[in-house]
A = this chain, B = another copy of it.
């Protein structure tokens, strides 16, 4: 089983309006809601591929209940007293406007309760994927702690975060770190395997077995949100199965493209995936 961790999930709300005009009142013509957060996207992609997966993390309040109700993947979250955040995206004819709630503050007791819950789940997992930002109240070394607990139970780990959470988490030695190229400069520690994502140009992997560049056969147009999460899903599955790196990286690039081709983050265009996987170009690098 692959475990995904989302410590700062969100209810993603999308409003359609004709044109957003500051200081006017708007009738919203369509409302969509989905369970958001990078770890939940990773879980959704694995679930769509038929892989056994369990989503965990922190959820609180009425919005937390709404996220749980909208999560189609098996899940087991730890309850917190604060209210899970919403992201409201207002889409008009021209573009999208984002309104990001601050999200809850997590207490030390809640963080302790999550660690216990996580330890029980990670025992049964082959790989854990740690994704996204940390909510207020968590220590900066939260991912380092979770990487250490995974190792104690011989569970492999993939870390996909940013800023201090990534930097300090990476120092604890996860099996794979998946930053974007800009984030990579901040990491001082020597790493086991790094998979650097370069958006539509594919990715570069530096591993103990060698370095490769993987390039998609063509540029995919669509919604790039969630492409990195599809890539993380492929990395977790490959790590679990001991897939050789070149094959694993081709899979990651094809899945990321399939996520871009699907309109909603966390979904993949399975036909696009199947049609692309054999055509990803992988070559030794550096």
Segment at the B interface, from A38-46, A96-104, A144-152, A186-194:
A96-104
**A100 in contact with B27 (CB, 8 Å):** yes
The smallest C-beta distance from A107 to any residue of chain B, in angstroms, reads 19
Residues in chain B near residue A66, CB distance under 8 A: 62
The verdict on A182 contacting chain B, using a C-beta distance below 8 Å, is no
The verdict on A17 contacting chain B, using a C-beta distance below 8 Å, is yes
**A102 in contact with B29 (CB, 8 Å):** yes
The smallest C-beta distance from A86 to any residue of chain B, in angstroms, reads 8
The verdict on A88 contacting chain B, using a C-beta distance below 8 Å, is yes
Residues in chain B near residue A95, CB distance under 8 A: 22-23
**A101 in contact with B31 (CB, 8 Å):** yes
Residue total for A at the interface (Cβ-Cβ under 8 A): 30
* Nearest-neighbor residue (CB-CB) of A69 within chain B: B62
Residues in chain B near residue A96, CB distance under 8 A: 23
The verdict on A28 contacting chain B, using a C-beta distance below 8 Å, is yes
Report how far A101 CA is from B65 CA in the complex, Å.
20
**A90 in contact with B99 (CB, 8 Å):** yes
Report how far A65 CA is from B29 CA in the complex, Å.
23
The smallest C-beta distance from A69 to any residue of chain B, in angstroms, reads 6
The smallest C-beta distance from A232 to any residue of chain B, in angstroms, reads 23
Q: A23-B94, A23-B96 are in contact. Are A28 and B62 (CB under 8 A)?
A: no
The verdict on A124 contacting chain B, using a C-beta distance below 8 Å, is no
A1-31 residues with Cβ-Cβ distance < 8 A to B are 15, 17, 20-29, 31
Residues in chain B near residue A25, CB distance under 8 A: 97-100
